[in-house]
Every structure is written in C-alpha cells, then in structure tokens.
Structure 1
Amino acid sequence: MEKDRREFLKIGGISVLGLSALPVFEALAQGQGPKAMPDPRALQAGQWAMVVDMKKCWEEQEKRQCKDCMDACHKIHNVPTIPDPKREIKWIWLEEYKHAFPDQANEYAPEHVKESPFLLLCNHCSNPPCVQVCPTKATFKRAEDGVVLMDFHRCIGCRYCMAGCPYGARSFNWGDPREYLDPQQINQAFPTRRKGVVEKCNFCAERLAEGLPPACVEACKAKALVYGDITDPESEVRKILAGQYTLRRKIALGTGPNVYYII
C-alpha cells in the first residue's frame, strides 16, 4: 500500500510540474524566451555597403601582385584551396572586366580597364534573388543591417540560390572541403563546411558583431576597400559616393547590389 501511495504522489508531482512548465514551453515556442544580449562592441548599420577603389587596387597589384584581401578572407573563413577549377570555392576573387560588367563593357573602353582584373564578392543585394528562391531559408537577409547570410545547417544543396544569383558569388562543395584544409591552420572560431553545402562571402558578420571591420578591409594596405552604412549620409562610404563616379554590377536586374566600384 505504501509503495502504491509513493507512486501516486510521484505521478501527481510530475503532472503538476508539467502544468506549471507549460506556459514556459509555450513562451519559448513563440520566441518569447530569454534572448542573448547584443555585444556592446557590435558595429551597426541600416545597410552595410562597400566601395572598391580599383585604381588603388591595380596599383598595389602592379607593385607586388597583391592578393592580401583574398588571403585574409579565405584564411579566417576556412575557405579551401582546391586545385580543380570546376570545384573551386571562392568568397572573394578576381575577374575580367567583360565578365564583371558584361552590360557595360565595350570595345572602346580604356585598355587598362579591359585588361585589369576586378575584385568581386557577394553584393549583399537590397533585393537578393538568392533569398527568394531558397526553399529552406538557409539563405536569408538580416533585417537589421541588410547582410545576406547562409545557415549551413539548413542548406540542402539544391543550388537554387546559385541559379538565382546573377553574380556567380556562390560556391558548391562537391566534396568534403575539409580535406583541403591544413588542420594546423583552421580557424576554430569559424565553422568548417561539409559536402553538399553552398557558401559565400558573409561580409564578415562575425567580425562586425565584435566591433571589427571585414577581414578584407583590414588586410588591404592600399586602403582600396571601404565599408560603411550607406543609409548614413555622414558615413565614409556615402562621402566617397558623393565625390566619385562609381559602377555597380548588373543594376538593370533590380537586385540593388551594395558593392560599388571606382575605376
């Protein structure tokens, strides 16, 4: 009899606990649970944008075949170097003018422009088509600052985002990219990817959260890369755009790219 009584009290206690915990579970399910406090060091913007001064970039390339920005980006984000160009993973790369700006290229353009490589990366569009076509929301645009990000765990490898992106800014991991990384050189603070996942430039969102500039900007000794809040009239980006003629890639598509080029 005493055993049955103890069992009854145990079941009753669990039931009461379950009822009292129900509002908590419901609140968590509705996104009302405890939230992480933002880092006070975090850099904020209405829309992050970047200006690439190709004049300065070309000068530095002529001096020493500079690719500091690419090396810094790929190192900090564990981007593998894969010999096979068909399987190449790139977050920031060089491309010919006629491929970078096919809608503006013409045979009468200055020779130095036609023959010089352009630095390309994800444009973090205001109206990103990659986000619209992703069926799992693995690709999404962050509302607070306009950065287009990837959730590698949600990516199912359908590559719709690659088809939707008109800038070739995304790479697909046909194999395990970790096979091409030096274990001693892996940045443990940033996740490695796996086979079947798409990846791209994330505008160094993890660094912005710590009050740091994008790795490519920090590494550029020529100061050819400038980033800032394009919605702020007092930002350095806006001041440069007000005083310099710039180009953007494929603006006729209505994507609203947020990377500007001075040539």
Structure 2
Amino acid sequence: MMKKSRRSFLKVAGVAAVGLGASPAMNFASSDISHPVKSKNEHGLSAHRWGMVIDTNKITDEVVEACVEACHKAHNVPDFNHEVDEEKYPKTRPVNHKQEIKWLWEEEFHNAFPDKEDEFLAEKYHDLPFLVTCNHCKNAPCVKACPTQATFKREDGIVLMDYHRCIGCRFCMAACPFGARSFNFRDPRPFIEKNDPAFPTRTKGVVEKCNLCAERLAKGEQPHCVEASEGAIVVGDLEDPESEVRALLNEHYSIRRKQSMGTEPSVYYVM
C-alpha cells in the first residue's frame, strides 16, 4: 500500500512539474512561498541577502583541499571511495559505479565558466583551481521545480533542503544549471568515515547540497569554508553597501557563473 501511495504521489508530482507556471492554483509548486528561519541566538548573524565572494588570487590547491575537507567533514558528506566497516555494515556492497556527493568542489575554468571561454584567455586561468558550490540564486530554478517544497528559499536568500520532504524526483537537479546538487542512489551513512552528530545524516533517495552553513550563521559563526580559506572566501550581506562583500565587489572586477541563465547567482569570483 505504501509503494502504491508513493507511486501515486510521484505521478501527481510529475504532472505538477510539467505544468509549472501554467496554473496559479498549484500553490504547492510555487516559489513565492518562503520558509524564514529565525535564530533564537541573539549573537546569530543575519542578512537581507547572503552572498559569497571568492578571491581567485588567493586560491591555491591547498586552500581548495582544506575548504572541501572542512565542509564535507562537518556536514557528513559521504565518500564512496571510503572503505566500509564490514562488521558494522555486513550487507553493504562495494560501489561498482562512479558516484559522488559534493557540496563544495574544484572545477576548471572552462567548465565553471563555459560562456566566458576565450581564445586568448590568460594562461593562469587555465591552471587555476576554481571552487564551486550552490549559488543560492536570487531566482532559484530548483525552488520552482520542487513539487513538495523540499527545496525552499529563505527570506535572507539562502536556498535550503528539507530532507524529510524530498521524494527523490530529482526535478531540482534537472533545473539547476550549475550541477550543484547530488543524489544519494544508495545509503550514504556507511560511507561517512567519522559521523559528526552536530549535523543530520541523509538517507538513500534524497538530494543534498551546500546550505551556506546556515546552522553556523544562526550561532554567529562563519561557514566552514570561510574559516578554512585563509581569507580567500568572504560571506556577507549583498544588499548592505557597508558589508565586506560589497566592499570587495566595489574594489575588484568579479564574474559570476552562467549569468545569461537569469538565475542571479549570489556567488561572485574576484578575478
């Protein structure tokens, strides 16, 4: 009965996704519904619209590795190349296909910025590692595509995931032009080398991605990648002209990924 109900719901969700924007009566698929999360901590950090600035002049292979490790370790991101404890998970089969869950990762320039590739592009950009992640877009297509509101955008611009609402339809993944979402085709928990109890683990059939360390901002702390970046990454309020991110954008030339898509990414790269 459970399988039948789930199948029926997926059919309804599929119809809703096809008809997005066609009927204003489909309120559950509307991107106008926000889920603001107010921190009870008086020291929590807040913003009208959170954004990130990455200074490519300060990015090195070591910084990239440190940022990715800090992010993935704190958020229990599984490593499917990790050897599983067979005594604890005796029925876990080895991974026989390439699968990767990523919140923050390294990309080459021509992949990160395909619309900015140039015949005479400075040589340094060909060899430079670019950190990429969820762009927490102002016009987030993933939010519009999600039929269950498992993907939603807060009033402060952070795009989050409700893992319990996710039905694994992967419409959000198809809608995201940045490849910033990963799907758990199998139970990720056996492939977490050391579980951090401070952050929830996910289950098979759930999509996940960067949450801009919303749980740390609520406590007045900086995101893990910011702390590990040695000054290469800054997070702040894009709508505050006095913020550090705005100062950096005013002083330096910056670019964003796939701007022609109209999603208004909130991650900027200082060149």
Structure 1-normalised TM-score?
A: 0.81
What are the Cα deviations for residues 10-68 of structure 1, in whole angstroms up to 9, with x where unaligned? Answer: xxxxxxxxxxxxxxxxxxxxxxxxx987221110000000100111103xx2xx57511
Q: CA deviation at 1:86?
A: 3.1
What is the percent sequence identity of the aligned residues?
56
1:229 aligned partner, one-letter code: D
What is the aligned residue count?
A: 221
Establish whether residue 114 from structure 1 lines up as the match of residue 126 from structure 2: yes
Task: Choose from 237, 243, 247 the match for 2:251.
Answer: 243
Assess if the C-alpha contact under 8 Å between 2:59 and 2:129 holds in 1.
no
Q: Which has the higher helix share?
A: 1
After the TM superposition, which residues 130-209 of structure 1 pair with which residues of structure 2 at under 5 Å, given as runs? Answer: 130-143=142-155, 145-182=156-193, 185-209=194-218
1:97 aligned partner, one-letter code: F
1:187 aligned partner, one-letter code: D
Which residue is equivalent to 1:10?
Answer: none
Q: Distance in 1 between matches of 2:234 and 2:109?
A: 21
Find the residue that maps to 1:38 and give its secondary structure.
Answer: coil
What are the Cα deviations for residues 69-100 of structure 1, in whole angstroms up to 9, with x where unaligned? Answer: 11000011000111367310000000111110
Q: CA deviation at 1:107?
A: 2.2
Task: Choose from 93, 98, 108 the match for 1:86.
Answer: 98
Q: Distance in 1 between matches of 2:212 and 2:270?
A: 19
Which residue is equivalent to 1:216?
Answer: 225
Find the residue that maps to 1:67 and give its secondary structure.
Answer: helix
Find the residue that maps to 2:51 and give its secondary structure.
Answer: strand
Q: Distance in 2 between matches of 1:57 and 1:151?
A: 32
Find the residue that maps to 2:114 and give its secondary structure.
Answer: coil
Greater C-alpha radius of gyration: 1
Establish whether residue 52 from structure 1 lines up as the match of residue 64 from structure 2: no
Establish whether residue 104 from structure 1 lines up as the match of residue 116 from structure 2: yes
Q: Distance in 2 between matches of 1:140 and 1:75?
A: 24
Q: 1:123 to 1:107 in 2, by over 3 A?
A: same
| The 10-residue stretch of structure 1 (35-44 or 107-116) with the greater mean CA deviation from structure 2 | 35-44
Unaligned runs of 5+ in 1: 1-34
Q: CA deviation at 1:220?
A: 1.5
Q: Distance in 2 between matches of 1:52 and 1:78?
A: 24
Find the residue that maps to 1:131 and give its secondary structure.
Answer: helix
1:112 aligned partner, one-letter code: K
Task: Choose from 70, 74, 84 the match for 1:72.
Answer: 70
After the TM superposition, which residues 37-48 of structure 1 pair with which residues of structure 2 at under 5 Å, given as runs? Answer: 38-48=40-50
Q: Distance in 2 between matches of 1:241 and 1:68?
A: 24
Assess if the C-alpha contact under 8 Å between 1:87 and 1:172 holds in 2.
no
Q: CA deviation at 1:117?
A: 2.0
Q: CA deviation at 1:106?
A: 1.5
Which residue is equivalent to 2:25?
Answer: none
Q: Distance in 2 between matches of 1:105 and 1:249?
A: 12
Task: Choose from 236, 245, 254 the match for 1:228.
Answer: 236
Q: Distance in 2 between matches of 1:202 and 1:36?
A: 15
Establish whether residue 128 from structure 1 lines up as the match of residue 130 from structure 2: no
Q: Distance in 1 between matches of 2:211 and 2:242?
A: 24
Assess if the C-alpha contact under 8 Å between 1:133 and 1:164 holds in 2.
yes
Q: Distance in 2 between matches of 1:199 and 1:156?
A: 12
Which residue is equivalent to 1:14?
Answer: none
Find the residue that maps to 1:119 and give its secondary structure.
Answer: strand
Q: Distance in 2 between matches of 1:232 and 1:78?
A: 32
